[in-house]
Structures are given as C-alpha cells and as structure tokens.
Amino acid sequence: MKLEAALAEQPQHVPDALVRDFDLYGIPGLVDGYSADIHALWKQVQDSFPDIFWTPRNGGHWVATRHDDILTLCTDTARFSNTEPFIPIGIVPHTGPSQLDAPEHPPFRKLVSLAFTPASLNKATVRARAAASDIIAALRPQGRCNFMHDFAGVMPIVTFLNLLGMPETEAPYLRDLAERMVPGQPGAQDAWGEAGDYIAALIREHQANPGDDFISMLVHAQVMGRDLTPTERQNVVQLVVTGGLDTVINTTAFAMTHFARNPDLQRELRENPELYDGAVDEITRRFGTSNLARLTRCDTALAGVSIKAGEQVLGIFPLAGLDERVNPDPMTFDPHRVGRRHLNFGSGPHTCLGARLARREIRIFLEEWIARMPECRIVEGTSPRMAAGLINTMRDLHLEWEPA
C-alpha cells in the first residue's frame, strides 16, 4: 500500500487550534527523508505541537505526544482497541495476535510467550554473547566498520534465531528483509509479500519435518482447544519470526551514535561496569523506536480532547520517555538517573513479549562492545542516517577507532 497523498477532511468536532499538517513519515527537519538525530526532531514535535493534535495526513488521525496520554492508550482497553495500530490503516498486512483484543488476544499471547521461557532466554543469551565476541574480534583490527550492518544488524538476529531454533545461516537474509519491511520505505509492500512467502515455506517445511524447535511447536499448536486455522498459523509464525527483528538493531545503533558523539560516556561506562543496569534502562528510555496507534471504541475524551468512535490515535512512544513532565532533563543520557519512566516496550495487555530478551541484548552490547572496544568516533565526512515512521530506523553508522 502506498502512503496516502490526499488530505482527509477535517471532522466537525476537531477544533482548528488542534490541527497540524503532520506526516509521521516526514516529520519537520528531515532532509531527503533522513536526520542525523531523529529523537531530537521528535522532541521538537513534542515541544512545539499541542499534547494531542489532529492531522489530515495518512487518512486523518490524532497524535498523542505525552507519557500519561500514551499510557492511557495502552492500558484503557475499554476505550482504545489494538485492532488498527498502523498509520495509515492497511499499510501493514494484518499481523494476527498483535491486532486482537480480549478475549481472543490472551490465548494467542500465551502461545507466543512460550518462546520466552527462562531456559530459552538463557540459551539465546549465551549465543548472543558469543556472537558479539566473535564480531568484535574480527572488527577490532580493522579500525572501522558500518556499525549498523556489522554489529547491530547481526548480533540480535543471531540471538533471535537461536531462540526460535532456526539456523543462523538465515541471519543475512532476515537482516536484509527486516530493513526492507520498514513501513513507509520504498519497496516495503513487496518486502511484506516476500516475507509472507518465506513464512509459508517455513511452515510447510516444519509440517513435513517437525522438530523440537519453537516454530514446529507453533505449526502444530492449538489455541482455545482447537487447531490453528491456516491464516492464524501464518500470522502467528510471521509475527514471531519477523516481529522482533528491528527493535534492538535500531536501539543499539541509536545508542552507539550518542556514545560516539560523547566519548566521555564511553569512558564512564567502560570504567564503571556497575552502571550497566542503569545504562540499559537509560538506553531504552532515551532511544525508543516504535510509534503505534489505537482505534477509539467509543466517543470519548483524552486529556480533555474530544475523540469520536472509529478514529485512530497515534502514540509517539519514544516521546513518552522524552517527556520532561516524567523525566527531568530528558534529552540527557544519565545512567545514574533514578525513577525513569518510559513506554518503549508498551504497557498493558500488549506489552512487548521480547522485552526481557531485548534488555539482555542491550546489556551484552555494553559488556562486549563498550567494555572491549577502543574509543569509537563517527567517521569524518559521514553522518548517521535515521528515518522516521512507524519504526524509527537507522540506515548507516560508520565508526572508526584506533586498532589495537
């Protein structure tokens, strides 16, 4: 589906004072679709626009930019449905369990959660650390790399494949596919179709040759006392295989960009490993990735703004952590910060199931890359390329250091 170019008609209940010409995929400040600091641009939106506003772009929808309002979208399921989380509606094929509400959602969530048992997480974590160590050993003598492609885009995917019991040889293809599937980017629609074909083939393979891996379990699973329908099976497997590919990739790349610009942070973390727990939480707060909507179930109000049934409200989730009302001096990265609040893994019934794995991977990034690599800097003459959309993404991050 192409992004909608036509502007939606302003509904009668929307006051002129709350209308902004805002495009999720082209926020103010982007140059040729990219920015060297996407979170700074999002913060400008939060600071200069109303807390909740309406835009005629992408079908017409509301936008919430503050922590407490986004939290309400996540947790007040009586008023806000998860059935249409993407802007505009239809840009992403239906993702099955993640677009269900109760009572259908909990049984599917319970099924998918079986991938994230303590034993599975421990096994995946061991492999993640080994992968990170191997990558660093190979890169360190070279003195430079494209961090996005050489580390951030490798370690998390290898980890996830091990969690699911899939071969690591699939990592390069899935990394490329994840990059091409980002909604709003050129070729995304074709990439989603390609992903559907890939998942269908994966299901057929595991139906014919079942093993003791998680994909085989999903293929033969039951839910609510019955077998999965073919559509449910396709959606569940596709959600599991592709749903967790991009979050840690982009989060670690955003964090590394900040560290490369602030070598004192690299030194502080390297010399004080006791700060890693705080740094993991601060990375998660400061460098959010996903922007998702809710569909209003009934005529209601959010922070005093009248919203009608059937209207979408987009939550800019990274801005929840950048809201100075809940996190003082929010743009400063502070591993010592106490009482930080954010919603980058969501909240309520759709809280990200992979949150524990993501935190472990971010910690491994700190313990392996930050602790073992020389001080890194951005290669002179290059600039990070970050894009906005349903997922805030990084395209390139060229680093250099003094090789040992």
* Residue 360 covered by a domain: yes
How many domains, the chain?
A: 1
Residue 182 confidence (pLDDT): 84
Alpha helices per DSSP H over 118-213: 118-139, 147, 155-164, 171-180, 188-208
* Residue 375 covered by a domain: yes
Structure tokens, 78? 């009586």
Check residue 285 and give left, alpha or beta (phi > 0: left; psi -120 to 50: alpha): alpha
* Residue 9 covered by a domain: no
Cα separation, 200 vs 356, whole angstroms: 28
Q: Which H or E element spans position 313?
A: strand 312-316
pLDDT along the chain (404 residues), means of 10: 75 98 96 96 98 98 98 98 95 85 93 89 91 95 95 90 89 88 85 92 93 90 92 90 83 97 96 97 97 97 97 98 98 97 95 92 96 96 95 94 87
* Residue 286 covered by a domain: yes
* Residue 104 covered by a domain: yes
Domain at 115, CATH number:
1.10.630.10
Q: Which domain holds residue 114?
A: 16-400
* Residue 386 covered by a domain: yes
* Residue 39 covered by a domain: yes
Residue 389 confidence (pLDDT): 94
Residue 291 confidence (pLDDT): 96
Residue 1 confidence (pLDDT): 43
Pairing of strands 312-316, 61-64: parallel
Burial label, 347 (beta-carbon count in 10 A; 0-12, 13-18, 19+): middle
* Residue 42 covered by a domain: yes
Cα separation, 11 vs 1, whole angstroms: 24
